[in-house]
Amino acid sequence: MPTNMNIDEERINTYPPPCQMPFTDSNTSSPKPDPMSLASADASSWQELAQLILQCLGAITLLRILYHAVDVARLWLLPPHCGIRRYYRPDAWALVTGSSTGIGLWFAWELAAAGFNVILLGHKLDELREAQARIEAHFPHVQTRILVMDCSKATASEINEHLRSVTDLNLTVLINNVGGVITHQSPRIKPLTDYTPEEIDLNISLNAVFMTHMTRFLLPVLASNRSGPSLILNMSSGAQEGIPGVSIYSATKSYITALTKSVNRECKAAGVKVDIISIVPGEVTSQTNKPAHGFGVIDARPYAKIVLQRAPAAAARGVMVFSPYWAHALAFWVMRVLPESIRLRAFVALVLRDRNVPTQDDTDTHSEKPARTTAR
Ligand SMILES: NC(=O)c1ccc[n+]([C@@H]2O[C@H](COP(=O)([O-])OP(=O)(O)OC[C@H]3O[C@@H](n4cnc5c(N)ncnc54)[C@H](OP(=O)(O)O)[C@@H]3O)[C@@H](O)[C@H]2O)c1
């Protein structure tokens, strides 16, 4: 037990406390600060700072997760409130490229069902006429037009020339749907070095150049609508991740998404009321992808319906890249989080499988006509 005397001595010896040391003369005889206690004070303030940084990072991460969860819930769980009718006016027209068969035909069909007049664009007049006749028979109140163009060869001036005939219409929807893989001979799925120079040009033209000219020419027409927003819907593909064996197709699909994002931002920045969205499909059974294999396969008709139901709501909220079918979205998410070694094995398995799947064009005679196949 310390005596009173001891306590006083202790007080005198430790006065002033270390925190007041700067106010004392360094030459006085008062005791020097204990370097050990200063170091531990230093360490504890660093600890506090580290704790604060971690807490901030935790809060930011939590907010991000919450924001993402609300976003996902709004996109996937709430019923799409507007759908394609967001772009409907009494005399509205929609143009769909590659609409004689496949997903494009069903886009045109669903647009007609929603009351739009439709412009069908393709390269085979007989197929286009057949599609036109089916649509007109089913939707007698709907007007249709046909544009015949080879999207893998049409030049910018030819495209502009053809499109002049539709600029007087009240165009509110453009669907850049046409696309696929063009090869002159088997195998259809092959490394880049096996492509001929002509095949390279045709594939880039069909998938990237054509839709760029279409967008450039028709964007001002779509933007001139005063009565409400318009839509440009670009068909990309899960192949944009870079699937071996379809390198050019993959690259052009990635181009479509990048172009979509840039033009979308240009429009937003300029206050142009055109929604622009890149659609990323997985496996869809269509004219050239028949039969489709793998997880989340869906037929072209229900797929087109889902896209037109869900994409407008997403586009209206500023989403620029979207997989409207949940199974495709799930498959792409899993692919993204997998390590590259597993992803590579999955892609190689996909390529080996597709190399052996005959496409519609294999039943054609051995003509010089380029064959097409649709890769995912
Ligand atoms: N199906 C899938 O699993 C899948 C997956 C991912 C992405 N996608 C993309 O979705 C879009 C539609 O695919 P899809 O499977 O419906 O394709 P599809 O069945 O091959 O249909 C393509 C349409 O484009 C037309 N077309 C083809 N080459 C043309 C050319 N050079 N000029 C003008 N028209 C041409 C075709 O007409 P003809 O029949 O008369 O040749 C057909 O109407 C494509 O962009 C594709 O890359 C599809």
Q: How many CA atoms lie within 13 A of 349 on its CB side?
A: 8
- Does 287 reside within a domain? yes
Say how many Å lie between the CA of residue 31 and the centre of ligand 1: 87
Q: What is the rounded distance in angstroms from the CA atom of residue 278 to the CA atom of residue 332?
A: 15
Domain extent at residue 108: 76-373
Nearest-atom number in ligand 1 for the CA of 207 is 45
**Atom nearest to 182 CA in ligand 1:** 28
Q: What pTM was computed for the model? A: 0.83
Pocket of ligand 1 (CB under 6 A): 98-104, 122-124, 127, 150-152, 177-180, 206, 235, 237, 281, 283-284, 286-289, 292, 300, 372, 374, 376
190 within a domain of the structure (yes/no): yes
CA of 366 to the centre of ligand 1 (A): 21
Is position 114 within any domain?
yes
Place of tokens 């989340």: 296
**Centroid of ligand 1 to alpha carbon of 115 (angstroms):** 24
Ligand 1: which atom is nearest the Cα of residue 289? 1
Res 39: pLDDT? 75
Whether the bond into 187 is cis, omega within 30 of 0: yes
Whether 35 is covered by a domain: the verdict is no
- Is 277 contained in some domain? yes
Mean pLDDT of the chain: 86
Residue 20 has pLDDT above 50, yes or no: no
Give nearest CA residue, ligand 1 atom 8: 237
Question: Phi-psi category of 326—alpha, beta or left, where left has phi over 0 and alpha has psi -120 to 50?
Answer: alpha
Distance of CA 118 to the CA centre of its chain: 25
Q: Within a domain: residue 16? A: no
Q: How far does the centroid of ligand 1 lie from the alpha carbon of residue 105, in Å?
A: 10
Average pLDDT for 80-101: 93
Least confident of 134-148, 199-213, 361-375: 361-375
User: Ligand 1: distance of its center to the CA of 97 in Å?
Assistant: 9
pLDDT digits (tens, 9 = 90+) for 55-90: 999 999 999 988 878 877 777 777 777 799 999 999
In a domain, 346, yes or no: yes
Give me 318's structure tokens. Answer: 């500023």
61, part of any domain? no
- The structural domain count of the chain equals 1
Give pLDDT tens digits for 226-238.
Answer: 889 999 999 999 9
CATH code of residue 221: 3.40.50.720
Cβ contacts of 155 within 8 Å, gap of 6 or more: none
